[in-house]
Structure 1
């Protein structure tokens, strides 16, 4: 007679074994309708799982994060079934869950067309209406190889051959379609329905360009049609804000394939914004007690063996280069360089904490198929900082980092966060005492800052706990940017020390910390957040002075110089075009303000001002305008309202 302990602590006793689905029905009809899986003694399982002994069980509903993953994975199988029914010659490969959806890779004789996607979607809905049962079966590895070989699914055979011979495998069947998967999945296809296929892209088998090119179909799935519609609307808005499109239109940056791809070329307009961002970042750090560093772009390969990167990170590093028979490596991280500076002399406890910050460019070997505008590149600048401190200083230092993070991100208009505290995983380094001290310090700092957070139990790195902070942009998307990571490993590997108050030698705590994460990626987020309409303090050109006719050009240049005297990025448009054309052109450039000058303005020493949204702000004396924009600029204000 199994006793089932539920998440609320209550216990239900049953006279005979029952399934997860039957347990959900016993608890309530509403729960049963929403259920898509169960967690049994911490393990995620299908609703068909038989509960025949005393266990702890929670019902997984489709509106939870785990439930959404089950829905999306099941919808990926639904996609594969539809493709196989419509295109029998196609082979299936893998179909994982990704953020906000799923994809499935297919070995297809020819690329899928938009018309194919429409037909596949219709077939998927047809299979949902059929409400096919989804059934799990355990088979041996050899039996699975034979079955998929007989089906002509040679990619599945390759996957199975990489699995240890003694391991049983789970297969899932729905109708005539069978797929290899560890699950869990929804009990019937009728549970699905709120999904959409979004795009097709090429993808190399196993991500290796030496392998065959596959066809990857991307899709999304949600618990309800309302959520699906909201997501699709958000995605349509995201496409309109695409930083690659806006970056090209505003001549901010480019990715030059002739240079190899994944490398960012900053054009003058974009470089102006980057300079403003970096100047602000440096000033904020100096004000918060940091000192700035500059370190090389390469180092001897031995350094990366000492740090452990060659053992654990080699696939993401470029191949070494040789000089006079010695191997040198492009740096993927800045951390070892800061450690070497620390070790350049013996440190005292009185010197700690040491706070060092660097805008350091690093290089990582990303597969060409993974590159994406500014969001995924091969060379990027980390806004890196490292703090070396004593254990008793951890809480105050983390509190300072959180305060600085809120200040910097808030200045860019980001004040909504999702925060995760990741704690000790299995196989970690460091003593119980230091882990407990460090984790408690992180929690205390978060509470002191008044920040809500979730605990990701066991989600920390093997070398220390961490805080991850995601910002929410103007259309509700979350972006992982800021990370605060404690490190008990590198100080030991590099033999770092300080002389303690009792004259003993102690190992410092190392705190890795980034606020933007990557200047390039953060810039891409900013473009999409603002839709290219940067606030005045960030706009590459803040004011354009446009004369109505040629005879007013000299006055326009005089006005621009006056505004430049107030520290503004002002320029003139002296082209022999009509003023309406000029206004439209600079509106498309998203220039915050347009100052029109003609005979009346010249005589009065004024300008006729309008903003990029087309609002007429009237006639304003040049000096008053300069002071007003100067105030707006210095306050780093988000809007364009003149005080």
Structure 2
């Protein structure tokens, strides 16, 4: 007999091993339909993970941060599949969640352009509607290639392609519905950026004009810049983050045309726990602690609030 302890402390007993998805289904069909992963004794696992002994289990849905990150991680695989179908010579080099979305990096023979993004996005929507499964592959005898792969990576299959990637991933592409592609950078080594949310309502809210844009200098400040953005949001500020691997001057120039205030984050800001604030009119408000800038920007009239 296997005893499963749920988050509310209740116990459920099963007479044989079963997957995380089967545990969710035994609780409720709605929960099983919403599940994107599970936690078994605190460790995130795929829905198909087999629980064979007593354990504490919780079901992860897109309504929590971990679940939303899993949606975005899985979007990288669907993006890679869409690009490969449309551009067979493109080779995926990396893919990862990033702030409010995700990116994939490709090596290409012919540079993709912004005009390619609607076609790629449409192919992704078709793949989501087709409802492909995403499955972790079991490696019985690692080769020299797999032994040199990071221990944090696992092999996942989507369609007829396999990808080395961090898990877990959603069980099927049907849950990937509220996403959009918004930028492409580079030439022969290119990054395609997108956003992904748990619902179309959240996606539409994300598309509303921002009062504040958090701009990172480079990839080293990604985590800190995203944390700053979340702090501003909790303080009632309509904030977005530009974490793209673009030159900071390009990002500032672009957002100065539409966003009232820019919050710039570099290595000095990250190390000191502060940010640099400026307006789109060229006013430099200097460096502030994150909590202080949050309070300042939340004042009526400062950001239109």
Q: Is TM (by shorter chain) over 0.5?
A: yes
User: 1:134, 1:189 within 8 Å by CA — same for their partners in 2?
Assistant: yes
Match of 2:149 in 1: 163
Larger radius of gyration: 1
Match of 2:186 in 1: 202
**Aligned mates of 1:16, 1:371 — CA distance in 2:** 47
Q: 2:56 aligns to what SS in structure 1?
A: strand
How far 1:40 moved relative to its partner? 0.5
How far 1:129 moved relative to its partner? 1.1
How far 1:39 moved relative to its partner? 0.4
- The Cα offsets for residues 440-488 of structure 1, whole Å up to 9 and x where unpaired, read as xxxxxxxxxxxxxxxxxxxxxxxxxxxxx9874642458799xxxxxxx
Gaps of 5+ in 2: 242-262, 266-270, 286-298
Higher strand proportion: 2
How far 1:533 moved relative to its partner? 10
- The Cα offsets for residues 273-311 of structure 1, whole Å up to 9 and x where unpaired, read as xxxxxxxxxxxxxxxxxxxxxxxxxxxxxxxxxxxxxxx
**Aligned mates of 1:193, 1:169 — CA distance in 2:** 25
How far 1:144 moved relative to its partner? 7.5
Q: 1:94 aligns to what SS in structure 2?
A: strand
Alpha-carbon spacing, 1:46–1:144, altered in 2? closer, same or farther (3 Å): farther
Match of 2:129 in 1: 129
**Aligned mates of 1:59, 1:371 — CA distance in 2:** 31
User: 1:199, 1:218 within 8 Å by CA — same for their partners in 2?
Assistant: yes
Counterparts of residues 449-460 of structure 1 (less than 5 Å)? none
Counterparts of residues 17-96 of structure 1 (less than 5 Å)? 17-96=17-96
- The Cα offsets for residues 510-529 of structure 1, whole Å up to 9 and x where unpaired, read as xxx957x14xx2x23xx2xx
Alpha-carbon spacing, 1:172–1:470, altered in 2? closer, same or farther (3 Å): same
User: 1:138, 1:169 within 8 Å by CA — same for their partners in 2?
Assistant: no
Match of 2:296 in 1: none
Q: 2:84 aligns to what SS in structure 1?
A: helix
Match of 2:162 in 1: 178
Alpha-carbon spacing, 1:92–1:140, altered in 2? closer, same or farther (3 Å): farther
Q: Highest relative contact order (Cα 8 Å, sep 6+), 1 or 2? A: 2
Counterparts of residues 354-393 of structure 1 (less than 5 Å)? none
How far 1:143 moved relative to its partner? 3.5
How far 1:177 moved relative to its partner? 2.0
Q: 1:216 and 2:187 equivalent?
A: no
**Aligned mates of 2:76, 2:199 — CA distance in 1:** 17
Q: 1:119 and 2:103 equivalent?
A: no
Q: 1:475 and 2:238 equivalent?
A: yes
Q: 1:233 and 2:208 equivalent?
A: yes
Report how many residues are paired: 257
**Aligned mates of 1:243, 1:22 — CA distance in 2:** 42
**Aligned mates of 2:192, 2:139 — CA distance in 1:** 29
Q: 2:94 aligns to what SS in structure 1?
A: coil
Higher helix proportion: 1
- The Cα offsets for residues 78-99 of structure 1, whole Å up to 9 and x where unpaired, read as 0000001111101111101111
User: 2:153, 2:167 within 8 Å by CA — same for their partners in 1?
Assistant: no
Alpha-carbon spacing, 1:23–1:110, altered in 2? closer, same or farther (3 Å): same
Q: 1:102 and 2:86 equivalent?
A: no
User: 1:139, 1:169 within 8 Å by CA — same for their partners in 2?
Assistant: no
Q: 1:104 aligns to what SS in structure 2?
A: strand
**Aligned mates of 1:38, 1:50 — CA distance in 2:** 11
- The Cα offsets for residues 401-427 of structure 1, whole Å up to 9 and x where unpaired, read as xxxxxxxxxxxxxxx994xxxxxxxxx
How far 1:242 moved relative to its partner? 6.1
- The Cα offsets for residues 340-386 of structure 1, whole Å up to 9 and x where unpaired, read as xxxxxxxxxxxxxxxxxxxxxxxxxx76x8799xx8xxxxxxxxxxx
Alpha-carbon spacing, 1:16–1:480, altered in 2? closer, same or farther (3 Å): farther
Alpha-carbon spacing, 1:53–1:174, altered in 2? closer, same or farther (3 Å): same
How far 1:6 moved relative to its partner? 0.7
Gaps of 5+ in 1: 146-159, 204-212, 245-261, 263-365, 376-415, 419-468, 482-512, 539-636
TM, length-normalised to structure 1? 0.36
**Aligned mates of 1:69, 1:161 — CA distance in 2:** 27
User: 1:40, 1:58 within 8 Å by CA — same for their partners in 2?
Assistant: yes
How far 1:109 moved relative to its partner? 1.3
The RMSD of aligned alpha carbons is: 3.6
User: 1:38, 1:60 within 8 Å by CA — same for their partners in 2?
Assistant: yes
